Amino acid sequence: MPVIHNPILRGFNPDPSILRVGDDYYIATSTFEFHPAVRLHHSRDLVTWTTIGHALDDGFALRGIPDSGGVWAPSLTHADGRFWLAYSIVRTMDGDDKDIDNYLVTADAITGPWSEPVHLGSRGFDFSFFHDTDGTHWVVGVQWDQRPEHPSFSGLVVEQYLPAERRTSGEAVRIYREDGLVEGPNLYRIGDWYHLLIAAGGTGWNHGITLARSRSLLGPYERDPREAVLTTRDAPGHPLQKAGHGELVQAPDGRWWLAHLASRPTLHLGERYSTLGRETCLQRVVFDDEGWLRPADGGHHASVEVAVAGEWEGTDAAPGPRGWTDDFDTDVLDSRRWSTLRAALPVEVADLDTRPGWLRLRGGHSAASVFDQSMILTRVEEHRASFEVLLDAAPRSPREAAGPIAWYDRSGWIWLQVTHDEDDGRHLRVVRRDGGVTTRSAPVAVPSGPLRLRLELDGPDLRCAWTDPGEGEWMPLPGVQPAWTLSDDHGPRLRFTGLFFGLRADDLDGRGWTVDVDRVDVRFVPDAG
């Protein structure tokens, strides 16, 4: 019998919205400040998943968006012969204030083209669509209250959408509220019941999924007597932590499945750090004799391995060592692998034509910028991984630098850079940002010409090395870097993304300095067991 090995989408792929159309399954995941936005994945069997692209790509930009802002919690549905995609853009998130815009786009095919967006208002976030059996369409989401003396999460509200007028009704009804955090709502009509699936407890270690139900769309809703349908908050040693924020899908055989997020932490001095971010998992669920949703295997914990019954062709082996190489011999960067920050890089910044077989990256703003950084990034999928680049860089000052980077956000990164200064000439340094503090290693002299540079992740630790373009011995840079700081769980701020490897170039004088990259090799090795 084939087996699903969780996570099914490894690395930073949070807030899954799952959908079946015919024999095809689709999942949309959050992308926050990264571009392209709303990652789309496809499967025919629930076991093997492929990233097929993004819904928000050409012309879409998020310049000025804060870290962990941007596109939150997409909702992917299908009605009236079209795909519907709702999403939130969080523009500010300072204290009690959140400036949020919610949108709807539609398409005849999952690959687009997607329509011009319809504004759904700014009431809150985590907007999802519910299409009732009577042909009406509804938006359910979190209502935010900015008043400091009131709970910020003021409840879950539902509002009718009027497709002929391309607008919501303007009249929202609160259908559910708890004293704790409830968000990520999704409505389903199953038999005579409306089921409200809820993300509860926040996105951290206390995360979980609960359920409420009603005979009427507008309530009142009765809460599940269990504390949680699914959670690992009471199992700190479980390999899938932070389990929560889920959606349901029904297979052709009538069985129900729950897509949800979870994190696989690594340990540093006994503390847990989810450097890979929040990943997507899949569980089989059933409705018990009283009509409440439960994991098919019993209990309330997520399962790492889930059996799939029925006819199925393919391999279901657990993920093993894997990787990929980009030698930049294509016309455009593969956006299924590469992301950028907040906006696409113009062709004159990421140039694949001037030096065939090389990527010429023109330097941009500093790592503190929310506008025009020059960096390409790929998700880190395992706690043991490596990222090697062959680059040709001739910096002329300390304001020109390039090299591989381990990136979380503007306040958390570790960068192995080739740079230059008046005392040391061309050299390597490891530069690290942790909160408001930047540290730099001692310089390491390197010869002129192309270099091979490597980042190697080993659980909570990161090591850097270099060699010449041939088959020379790798020479490590002194010191072990704290990769565990590149996680949601480090520091006082709310953080919602995950670890990327990437390649960046800075030109802080804005003189058009460039670096050429011939090849990138990425390798992932899953943890044993």
* DSSP string covering 471-515: SPPPEEPSS-EEGGGSSTTSSSS------EEEEEEEETT-S--EE
151 vs 40, which has greater pLDDT? 40
Query: Quick one: pLDDT at residue 493?
Result: 87
Mean pLDDT of 64-85: 98
Distance CA 66, CA 370 (A): 7
Q: Which domains occur in the chain, in start order? A: 3-307 (2.115.10.20), 322-525 (2.60.120.200)
* Proportion of the chain above pLDDT 90, given as a percent: 93
CA atoms within 13 A on the CB side of 184: 29
Query: Is pLDDT of 477 > 80?
Result: yes
15 is catalytic: yes
Distance CA 529, CA 525 (A): 12
Quote the tokens at residue 2: 């084939």
Strand order in the sheet with 70-79: 70-79, 82-94, 97-107, 118-121
CB 156 within 8 A of CB 196: yes
CB 463 within 8 A of CB 478: no
Distance CA 78, CA 26 (A): 11
Average pLDDT of the chain, as a whole number:
96
Query: Quick one: pLDDT at residue 527?
Result: 87
CA atoms within 13 A on the CB side of 279: 26
Query: Quick one: pLDDT at residue 307?
Result: 93
Query: Quick one: pLDDT at residue 152?
Result: 87
Query: Is pLDDT of 496 > 60?
Result: yes
Query: Quick one: pLDDT at residue 312?
Result: 54
Distance CA 277, CA 67 (A): 14
What is the identity of the amino acid at 524?
F
How far are the Cα atoms of 331, 418, 488 from residue 392, in angstroms, in the given order?
20, 10, 34
Phi, psi of 442 (to 5 degrees): -65, 150
Phi, psi of 164 (to 5 degrees): -65, -30
Q: 525: helix, coil or strand?
A: strand
Query: Quick one: pLDDT at residue 315?
Result: 59
310 pLDDT band, cuts 50/70/90, is low
Residue 376 burial (C-beta neighbours within 10 Å; 0-12, 13-18, 19+): buried
Please identify which residue in the block is written with the tokens 């390999």.
Answer: 239
Of the listed 33, 183, 382, 456, which one is catalytic? Answer: 183
Query: Quick one: pLDDT at residue 166?
Result: 96
Query: Is pLDDT of 529 > 80?
Result: no
Mean pLDDT of 330-334: 96
Q: 380: helix, coil or strand?
A: coil
How do residues 361-375 score in pLDDT, each as one tens digit?
999 999 999 999 999
Distance CA 180, CA 201 (A): 6
456 pLDDT band, cuts 50/70/90, is very high
Mean pLDDT of 277-299: 97
Distance CA 499, CA 485 (A): 10
Query: Is pLDDT of 311 > 80?
Result: no
Distance CA 279, CA 10 (A): 6
CB 132 within 8 A of CB 217: yes
Query: Quick one: pLDDT at residue 176?
Result: 96
Strand 167-168 to 153-162 pairing: antiparallel
Query: Quick one: pLDDT at residue 167?
Result: 96
Query: Quick one: pLDDT at residue 470?
Result: 83
Mean pLDDT of 119-148: 95
Query: Is pLDDT of 313 > 70?
Result: no
Distance CA 284, CA 254 (A): 11
Number of residues assigned to the chain:
529
How far are the Cα atoms of 415, 454, 464, 468 from residue 474, in angstroms, in the given order?
18, 9, 10, 8
Query: Quick one: pLDDT at residue 57?
Result: 95
Mean pLDDT of 24-28: 98
How far are the Cα atoms of 210, 269, 275, 364 from residue 225, in angstroms, in the given order?
9, 38, 34, 54
Mean pLDDT of 389-409: 98
Largest CA distance in the chain: 76
Of the listed 15, 45, 489, 507, which one is catalytic? Answer: 15
Mean pLDDT of 73-93: 97
CB atoms within 10 A of CB 135: 9
49 pLDDT band, cuts 50/70/90, is very high
Distance CA 439, CA 403 (A): 16
Mean pLDDT of 96-104: 94
How far are the Cα atoms of 209, 278, 325, 437 from residue 7, in angstroms, in the given order?
17, 10, 23, 34
Residue 370 burial (C-beta neighbours within 10 Å; 0-12, 13-18, 19+): middle
Going by C-beta distance under 8 Å and a sequence separation of 6 or more, which residues neighbour residue 405?
A: 375, 413, 414, 415, 416, 455, 501, 502, 503, 504
Q: What is the pTM of this model?
A: 0.97
Query: Is pLDDT of 226 > 60?
Result: yes
Query: Quick one: pLDDT at residue 515?
Result: 98
Query: Quick one: pLDDT at residue 2?
Result: 86
How far are the Cα atoms of 17, 49, 84, 107, 132 from residue 80, in angstroms, in the given order?
19, 26, 9, 11, 12
